[in-house]
């Protein structure tokens, strides 16, 4: 049985011949699954089964016995056995049973870990995400999920728009998985099937004209590590079939070879496309999507986490100033407001490009940043022209006609934030450092304002539709 499981890539198998050693072993080392015989000297299988379920409820138990009797099987299931196999056990039946038990154990562990992180709101390995600059609660929740699934051997699919940082998350997964192998990356966009097969699986010497020597494929190089396949949504159909076999069976053939090889690489894929739509258009295999998306990590676009923009701006300014050997430029409040209101279709990558270009042209005074796709007025759509000076640049009594009360100043700041963000409550809340609900409550208390009553009032309904559309 041990050899059979090793051929099926279940390598960490311990054999214990004395039933009295099982409980001490579980206490010291633990296990995901116990294959348990029933009729043994010292402790019987049923006694051991009850003890394991009482003391180690997270350990799965499969009973294997020559007694092919229904009442014994029923009794074992009542005691908590996951399955009951009769000797002699067929190899395919054994492998299927063990694989199922290991999947259940892995899912239970992930669920417990996820509950713990959500309740404690803590990251166990924050250093793994050091390269990602964020203060967003959405990103923090995403990091907690990544910590849970990173050690799973199941494929991981990372989705998100261009420029959100999918490869950074893939590196975090690799770091958290604590594997000994390398991180190997391949962008599959534009690769024909022959190039994909040769690059991924390698070829045998003489496999085709010009193959003067054998080539080791990336799957082999990523053994014991992580194989990151970027832009997976653009993969050709024939290549999709080969990748599906690799994911399902962990097997592949080198080009020009009939020797079956086993893969020991953890597959992480990424795409900026909607694969469900690609499946509907018959451009992506449904079965491959299911295999890839065992764990799905969706990175929100930058426009949905505006609180990250000032942090990223400061980070990129420091980087660019160092690279260009210039002093770090000053940034006006109006510029930060414009950036927050900008849609950023290119996400973090677009912001970085804009900042680097601005620092390269900077000489003195306040920094001027030009958007990649037109003037700010065209991008932002500021109905007031964006010419009103910020509050701190004006005499406060000139603005109000008198020294304002706290309530008047509060209402002014909320209305100004809503004006600058074209009535978007989420962005305005991020600018003010308060919650969206706080703004809504203040406006309700004050009866709202004519300047912002139009577009701002649509935001809750828009969010409601987003929640509704996200339901299964």
Query: What is the CATH classification number for the domain harbouring 449?
Result: 1.10.10
Give me the pLDDT at residue 44, please.
82
At residue 340, the pLDDT reads 84
319 and 292 within one domain: no
CA torsion through residues 372, 378, 383, 384, sign: positive
| Nearest by Cα to 217 from 238, 236, 230, 198 | 198
Q: 116 vs 123, 389, 406, 421, CA distance in Å?
A: 10, 48, 41, 37
Report the percent of the chain where pLDDT is more than 70: 85
pLDDT at 369 over 50: yes
Report pLDDT digits (tens) over 120-163: 667 888 999 999 999 888 899 899 899 988 988 889 999 999 99
- State whether 317 and 446 are in the same domain: no
- The residue out of 346, 380, 414 marking a domain boundary is 380
Same domain, 88 and 192: no
Is the confidence at residue 350, as pLDDT, over 80? yes
Which CATH number covers residue 339?
1.10.8.60
Query: Based on the number of CB atoms within 10 Å of its own CB, is 456 exposed (0-12), middle (13-18) or buried (19 or more)?
Result: buried
DSSP 3-state of 330: strand
Same domain, 246 and 153: yes
Looking at the structure, tell me whether residues 156 and 286 fall in a common domain.
yes
**Predicted local distance difference test score (pLDDT) of residue 432:** 81
- Whether 460 shows a pLDDT value over 90: the answer reads no
Helix (H, G, I), strand (E, B) or coil at 202: strand
Instruction: Give the whole-number percent of the chain exceeding pLDDT 90.
Output: 32
| pLDDT score for 399 | 62
Q: Give pLDDT, residue 112.
A: 72
Domain membership flag for residue 385: no
Residue 31 falls inside a structural domain: yes
Band of pLDDT at residue 196, cut at 50, 70 and 90: very high
**Listed residues 281, 300, 319: the one ending a domain:** 300
The 10s digit of each residue's pLDDT in 69-119 is 777 778 888 888 888 888 888 888 888 888 888 888 877 777 776 666 666
| Same domain assignment for residues 178 and 292 | yes
What is the average per-residue pLDDT within 345-349? 92
Are residue 44 and residue 19 in the same domain, yes or no? yes
pLDDT tens-place string over residues 395-438: 566 666 677 788 888 888 888 888 777 677 877 787 787 888 88
Residue 220 maps to which CATH number?
Answer: 3.40.50.300
- Give me the chain's average pLDDT, please: 82
319 and 370 within one domain: yes
Of 113, 129, 148, the residue that ends a domain is 113
- What's the mean pLDDT in 353-357? 92
Residues 174 and 210 in one domain: yes
Higher pLDDT residue, 233 or 414?
233
Q: What is the dihedral of CA 20, 24, 27, 31, to 10 degrees?
A: -60
Residue the block writes with tokens 């279940």: 10
In a domain, 386, yes or no: no
Q: What is the pTM of this model?
A: 0.64
Residue 410 lies in a domain: yes
The per-residue pLDDT for 39 is 82
Is residue 11 pLDDT above 80, yes or no? Answer: no
Same-domain check for residues 284 and 175: yes
What tokens does 120 get?
């404690």
125 and 109 together in one domain: no
Over residues 232-239, mean pLDDT:
93
Q: Is residue 334 part of a domain?
A: yes
Range of the domain at 320: 303-380
Number of independent structural domains in the chain: 4
Residue 289 has pLDDT above 90, yes or no: yes
296 and 307 both lie in a single domain = no
CATH number of the CATH domain containing 14: 3.40.50.2300
Question: Is 172 within a domain?
Answer: yes
Give domain status of residue 388, yes or no: no
Is position 314 within any domain?
yes
* Cβ-contact 285, 244 below 8 angstroms: yes
For the cut 80, the answer to whether the pLDDT of residue 472 exceeds it is: no
């Amino acid at each position: 049985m041990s050899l059979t499981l090793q051929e099926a890539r279940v390598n960490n198998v311990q054999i214990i011949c004395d039933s009295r050693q099982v409980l001490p072993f579980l206490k010291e080392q633990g296990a995901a699954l116990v294959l348990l015989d029933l009729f043994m000297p010292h402790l019987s299988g049923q006694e051991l089964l009850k003890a394991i379920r009482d003391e180690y409820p997270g350990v799965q138990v499969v009973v294997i016995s020559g007694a092919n009797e229904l009442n014994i099987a029923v009794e074992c299931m009542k005691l908590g056995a996951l399955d009951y196999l009769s000797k002699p056990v067929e190899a395919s039946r054994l492998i299927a049973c063990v694989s199922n038990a290991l999947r259940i154990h892995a899912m239970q562990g992930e669920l417990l870990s996820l509950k713990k992180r959500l309740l404690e709101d803590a990251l166990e390995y924050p250093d793994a995400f050091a390269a990602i600059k964020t203060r967003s609660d959405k990103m923090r929740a995403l990091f907690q999920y990544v910590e849970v699934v990173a050690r799973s051997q199941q494929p991981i699919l990372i989705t998100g728009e261009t420029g959100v940082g999918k490869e950074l998350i893939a590196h975090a997964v690799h770091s958290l998985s604590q594997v000994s192998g390398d991180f190997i990356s391949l962008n599959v966009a534009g690769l024909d099937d022959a190039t994909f097969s040769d690059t991924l699986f390698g070829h045998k010497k003489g496999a085709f004209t010009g193959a003067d020597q054998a080539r080791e494929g990336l799957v082999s190089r990523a053994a014991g590590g992580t194989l990151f396949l970027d832009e997976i949504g653009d993969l050709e159909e024939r290549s999709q079939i080969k990748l599906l076999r690799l994911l399902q069976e962990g097997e592949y053939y080198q080009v020009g070879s009939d020797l079956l090889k086993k893969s020991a690489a953890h597959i992480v894929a990424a795409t900026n496309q909607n694969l469900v739509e690609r499946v509907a258009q018959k451009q992506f295999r449904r079965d491959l999507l299911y295999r890839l998306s065992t764990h799905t990590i969706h990175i929100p676009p930058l426009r949905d986490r505006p609180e990250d923009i000032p942090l990223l701006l400061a980070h990129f300014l420091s980087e660019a100033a160092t690279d260009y050997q210039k002093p770090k430029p000053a940034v006006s409040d109006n510029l930060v407001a414009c950036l927050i209101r900008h849609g950023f279709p290119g996400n973090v990558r677009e912001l970085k490009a804009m900042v680097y270009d601005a620092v390269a042209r900077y000489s003195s005074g306040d920094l001027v940043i030009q958007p990649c796709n037109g003037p700010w007025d065209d991008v932002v759509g500021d109905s007031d022209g964006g010419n009103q000076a910020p509050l701190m640049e004006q005499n406060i009594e000139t603005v109000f006609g008198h020294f304002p009360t706290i309530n008047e100043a509060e209402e002014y700041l909320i209305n100004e934030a809503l004006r600058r963000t074209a009535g978007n409550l989420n962005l305005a809340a991020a600018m003010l450092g308060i919650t969206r609900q706080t703004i809504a409550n203040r406006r309700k208390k004050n009866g709202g304002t004519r300047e912002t009553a139009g577009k701002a009032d649509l935001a809750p309904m828009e969010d409601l539709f987003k929640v509704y559309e996200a339901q299964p």
